[in-house]
Amino acid sequence: MVTSPSLANSESEFSEKILAFLDHLQIDSKPGRYRLCRVGITNDGERLSLAMSCFALKVYVMLNAWDKLDVQVKVDWINYINSFQVAREVIGNTVYHNAFINQELMAYLNQPSFIRSIRSVQSKSIREIIRIPFGLKSMSRTEQVVISETKQAIATLSEVGKMTLKPYESFPKSNADIFKFMSSLDWSLPWAAGGQAASLAVFLNTEANRLLGQDLIQRLTAANYEFFTSIVDPKSGCYFKGRQPPYASIVNGTMKVLTALDWLDSPIHYPEKLIDTTLRQLPASDGCNLVDAVYVLFRCTRITDYRKSDVIDYAKKVETMVHKHYNLDHGFSYYIGRAQKWYSGLKVSKGYRESDLHGTVLLLWAYIMIQEICYPGKFKWNVIRP
């Protein structure tokens, strides 16, 4: 039975144990090749090679271990991630042009599935559903995954100062198109909308420099910020439209918007209100909810000391929750005592009592941000930019 041991006594010991856990997930000792978990991985879980490579690289960056790797290992790892980028002429849809595509994952998502169709409808709002009869294009689930995977790869490469082989071009390139795209998202569901807005911000930061002039990039960035200003709620500091969604939805959605603002080098509108909102209750105890609440507080504490003691007390309570995900194999599990089962609609593991790579990258990230909130500058770890 996996229990939750105490974390290591020193920074270096903790880092070494996390990296040892990653060693057990590495496939055939090849740079960049990792699996989700050791024991309960499914055949579908084996398809997540691009995502797992990005997650593992982020762990190395957070633990200040990337620069210590052999030069050839780093080169091979970067080349492996870049190997997932497809050429412009391969697929007709512009979303796929120069995108990062895990071909086996795409093959699965493109298979007809009644269950996935029902889940897709259940996850949509009424506003999204009525768009289709009125002739408004709705992005397919596969397209959303492609954009998400492409954003993940580009952001990961950026962490180590690397670029894609070819610039990704499928994003708005005028003020009018920025506003049209941002307005088309359903901001009554801020987590989903915020995720797509964050992808756009990454592309504007990384790919636009290779395609557009600096003046235009500045105008696009300003247009993006203007849209966020139009939807921010001055009472909660969160970003949404319509009736205020439940706590998890607005905090998780705001986390996505704050990542976008970070990539755009734009200020947070109401950091003190965001602190009040986040401190209202503790997050649910799974990887995404924990890291999202911590990230919002982390970003806001870079700007203000408002309610500093309350923020620290809250962070320490969340740290206790994070500890419960840390296992004897020295990784973190997405859920307490069991690995993540689902990813992008795939059943990727059997949910055994073991750590998983996605849980490890998320919970490690949360843990490092908590340390920086409570003990600024004490540790030499890095906070990644998602």
Residue 187 CA: distances (Å) to CA of 125, 190, 245, 259: 10, 5, 10, 16
Task: Give the per-residue pLDDT at 344.
Answer: 81
* Coil, strand or helix at 167: coil
How much is the pLDDT for 104? Answer: 76
DSSP states along 36-80? S-SSSB-TTGGG-HHHHHHHHHHHHHHTT-GGGS-HHHHHHHHHH
The closest alpha carbon to 291, from 153, 384, 185, belongs to 384
Residue 312, H or E segment:
helix 308-323
pLDDT tens for residues 52-102? 999 999 999 999 999 999 999 999 999 999 999 986 655 557 888 899 998
Q: What angle do CA 278, 280, 283 make, to 5 degrees?
A: 65
Question: 277-302: per-residue pLDDT in tens?
Answer: 999 999 999 989 999 999 999 999 99
Give the pLDDT score at 116. Answer: 46
Is residue 366 scored above 90 in pLDDT? yes
Q: How many helices (H) and strands (E) does the chain have?
A: 15, 2
Residue 118 pLDDT > 50, yes or no? no
* 306/273 Cα distance (integer angstroms): 10
Question: 70-91 burial, b if ≥16 CB within 10 A, otherwise e?
Answer: eeeebeebbebbbebbbeeeee
Alpha-carbon span 60 to 63, nearest angstrom: 5
DSSP structural state of residue 285: S
Tokens standing for residue 58 = 């982020």
Residue 50 CB partners (closer than 8 Å, separation 6+)? 81, 84, 100, 102, 105, 149, 152, 153
Give the pLDDT band of residue 132 (cuts 50, 70, 90): very low
Q: Does residue 126 register a pLDDT over 80?
A: no
Q: What is the pLDDT of residues 351-362, one digit of tens each?
A: 999 999 999 999
How much is the pLDDT for 338?
Answer: 96
pTM tops 0.85, yes or no: yes
Task: Indicate whether 136 pLDDT > 50.
Answer: no
Quick: pLDDT tens for 163-208: 999 999 999 999 999 999 999 999 999 999 999 999 999 999 999 9
Q: Tens digit of pLDDT for each residue in 237-260?
A: 999 999 999 999 999 999 999 999
Q: How many CB atoms lie within 10 A of CB 13?
A: 11
Q: Among 328, 353, 334, 316, which residue's Cα sits nearest to residue 8?
A: 328
- Least-confidence region, from 47-51, 155-159, 270-274, 319-323: 47-51
Q: Are 369 and 295 in contact (CB under 8 A)?
A: yes
Domain ranges of the chain: 171-269
- Predicted confidence band of residue 120 (pLDDT cuts 50, 70, 90): very low
